[in-house]
Structure 1
């Protein structure tokens, strides 16, 4: 292994001290690699579940060098010295980490999906004490797509049926994806509706004629698809499709680092990627 001193650095740039949850997972490793390549962020903590065989090993071992940052299952130890935690794990784990963040005054960037309304309320509670960026998708492109969907929904508010189709890899455990649900929320809000009242998540058998006020969802799972999302506005004589396709999780990692930089110097509050990208 090479020395940790070979990491990129900039004498002039501020160094954002970052901890990563789920450090041995696919997204965790992508985040660690992005931090490693960054000029203004440094890895100071790495968290994983107690059952992970990676606990106790160096967080950057998979990159072939020693960072001196061990992977731990102890949130307080993993967050010691961190300014921001990036968490793309599971709802229960994220909430446990956020409780520690709140106690220690550590900000958080949360890309975890599948939260219940009660869990979202707990996140909002934590944001009363620390800055939290919560977004189901940290990709800059996805969030620009959300803004386009908001504009399209307002212009196509009558005469168009709306369907959201998403595809992900075989290992994804929740459906529809958090990004698809966020798309539905953005569209419903633009139309003056509540997604809870107009979403249709499944169709089978004799379903009857389509209700034009609904927003339909379809989920595909297979292979190693990183994430594809298409929103179809189907009218009479024409249809408009707005699509975003991810070929790498790198976009999520880079968006997360933009969220880290956004939180620097900010106080408590619940933010999203529209705040980070200035799209509001």
Structure 2
């Protein structure tokens, strides 16, 4: 299977190239920003643009930026090539275009491709269903490297959505409390709180806390190496081939729904 990588010269791109080889698949090539070149160990061709990448690939993995999600999803639909999308922080409009493209080709979009994180999300939904919002406040604390540009992280938002789903509603219906500062008043019942920490080169740490008057329950996932994301993304690329058009998640890839 020919797997293409958008952003092959980046940190994730290099790891993806390594995992594609380890999985016994073929690296179709990759794209990168002008002036960037992938390391020598990335043994696929450097393609001139994203259109050439989709034309040369059976499936494309994109871990670039939210701004690239729309053009890449559009190209995926135009070329009939499945897309594995790992960009976080998509706007409602960007998410809409990705969903429209998934009506023509299969798309796996996940905030986090690490298998462990997705297991944590499944547990978060089950815990939220069992712990009444009136008694258990949900708080999500995440920390990432100092270069990360969006907050809360996509994984933190996914945790919040899992909690809300367990309580039979959307995150928007539950309400987000993020970036508290000054005299904010008492915490509203049923809302989901977010705190974002940035510093150093932390790959990713997420803790979901259910806090009641009589007990606290904490669910934590720590990533020590970005390779876990690459492993999951290549697994998703192998899984998506032959699927019907649709918008899938890592939960689908892991057979959890």
TM range (shorter): over 0.9
1:188-203 residue pairs with structure 2 within 5 A? 188-197=164-173, 198-203=175-180
**What is the TM-score when the length of structure 1 is the normalising length?**
0.88
Partner residue of 1:26 out of 7, 11, 20: 11
Deviation at residue 73 of structure 1 after TM alignment: 4.1
1:103-114 residue pairs with structure 2 within 5 A? 103-114=78-89
The CA distance in 1 between the partners of 2:239 and 2:9, in whole Å, is: 26
Gaps of 5+ in 2: none
The CA distance in 1 between the partners of 2:117 and 2:220, in whole Å, is: 9
Bigger radius of gyration among the two:
1
Gaps of 5+ in 1: 1-15
The answer to whether the Cα contact below 8 Å between 2:208 and 2:219 also exists between their aligned partners in 1 is: yes
The CA distance in 2 between the partners of 1:256 and 1:43, in whole Å, is: 14
Deviation at residue 252 of structure 1 after TM alignment: 0.3
The CA distance in 2 between the partners of 1:73 and 1:217, in whole Å, is: 41
Partner residue of 1:256 out of 233, 238, 242: 233
The answer to whether the Cα contact below 8 Å between 1:131 and 1:269 also exists between their aligned partners in 2 is: yes
The CA distance in 2 between the partners of 1:105 and 1:99, in whole Å, is: 10
Number of aligned positions between the proteins: 255
1:114-153 residue pairs with structure 2 within 5 A? 114-153=89-128
The answer to whether the Cα contact below 8 Å between 1:45 and 1:80 also exists between their aligned partners in 2 is: no
The answer to whether the Cα contact below 8 Å between 2:7 and 2:13 also exists between their aligned partners in 1 is: yes
Would you say 1:224 and 2:201 are equivalent positions?
yes
Give a deviation string over 1:187-229, Cα, whole Å, max 9, x none. Answer: 1121123312411112111111111211000000011100000
The CA distance in 2 between the partners of 1:46 and 1:103, in whole Å, is: 18
Q: Which has the higher contact order (CA 8 A, sep 6+)?
A: 2
The CA distance in 1 between the partners of 2:48 and 2:215, in whole Å, is: 54
**What is the TM-score when the length of structure 2 is the normalising length?**
0.95
The CA distance in 2 between the partners of 1:94 and 1:185, in whole Å, is: 21
3-state SS of 2:148 partner: coil
The answer to whether the Cα contact below 8 Å between 1:85 and 1:107 also exists between their aligned partners in 2 is: yes
